[in-house]
Homo-oligomer: A and B are copies of this chain.
């Protein structure tokens, strides 16, 4: 499926799990995608300690050693000042230098946003990048943003976010050139919500966007709108709650053996690992964020999504961003 000569830069060091978990996912992926190349950014101390693992890698994987590694609980601003030679920073720099078509990391979200802004020019529409994911809605998918790049939004930021979403959605799935946009709130009535969403609602009503008004959490999976916007605090918590719920439903400890056996045939779409890989939008380059707690399967799917985004970008002949 993947076109030849595509290169994905991967920050192997970012994530809660041991980097070797992610390396296994990459090796599995490479076997199935023989025409794709990986730039693997690895902290040199980790590389030294695990040398045997790196000796027999596929030729499609090029290991690049870096001096530093950014921890998951590190301050993004300190990291930006002190760790430009980290695996995360170097992987993003590779996209800025057009040496890779996309970058993938499961690392520190704050540091990712900080370095992405540093290396990749921010889009003129938005002051700051936003994390977005495509939800598997029925009868049609929905682009949800922001799911965690910025936690606090003013009304004008929500407006810019809606413009960004409306610009990107048609490049990701079939929704026409004028996608329907909604603002996430506690109710659909215009009196609902706090001042920020109320003001944003007024701005959006006066805009040229195909704006539907407020929507509720229950609309996220119902194909209510092509684009649903919210601040990163709400988006992040909501998405993780839904993933947690799906995991709970997948936990079949309470089922009998024959029920467990049956489940394998009906709930393939339940697997949250399949939806791993959020896009960081509003930048001059393709940046994909995998969950911090991605396991091997989750990181594999994030890699699959990254390759799909690279393909879509090639197909469109222009940046998804």
Contacts and interface: CB of A to CB of B under 8 A. Distances in A.
Contact of A230 (B151, B189, B194, B237): B237
B240 A217 contact: yes
Contact of A244 (B151, B218, B244, B292): B218
Nearest to A193: B151
A259 interface: yes
Interface residues of A, number: 56
Which among A75, A236, A263, A267 has the greatest number of chain B C-beta atoms within 10 A?
A236
Contact of A148 (B74, B184, B186, B218): B186
Contact of A220 (B220, B245, B253): B245
Given A233-B186, A237-B238, A248 B266 contact: no
B266 A237 contact: no
A255 interface: yes
* Number of identical monomers bound together in the oligomeric complex: 2
A251 B267 CA distance: 12
A31 interface: no
A217 B189 contact: no
B265 A266 contact: no
Given A73-B191, A189-B72, A262-B262, A244 B230 contact: no
A152 B194 contact: yes
Interface in A221-255: 221-222, 230, 232-234, 236-249, 251, 253-255
A217 B246 contact: no
A270 interface: yes
A200 to B, nearest CB: 13
A290 to B, nearest CB: 15
Contacts of A184: 237
Contacts of A255: 266
Contacts of A243: 217-218
B238 A194 contact: no
Contacts of A109: 186-187
A154 interface: no
A217 B191 contact: no
12 contacts: A72-B189, A73-B190, A148-B186, A186-B236, A218-B240, A218-B244, A222-B247, A234-B238, A242-B242, A245-B245, A255-B266, A262-B266
9 cross-chain pairs, A with B, having the tightest CB-CB distances, nearest first = A217-B240, A217-B241, A218-B244, A73-B189, A217-B237, A221-B248, A186-B236, A218-B240, A151-B194
Interface of A: 72-75, 109, 137-138, 148, 151-152, 184-187, 189-191, 193-194, 216-222, 230, 232-234, 236-249, 251, 253-255, 259, 262-263, 265-267, 270, 292
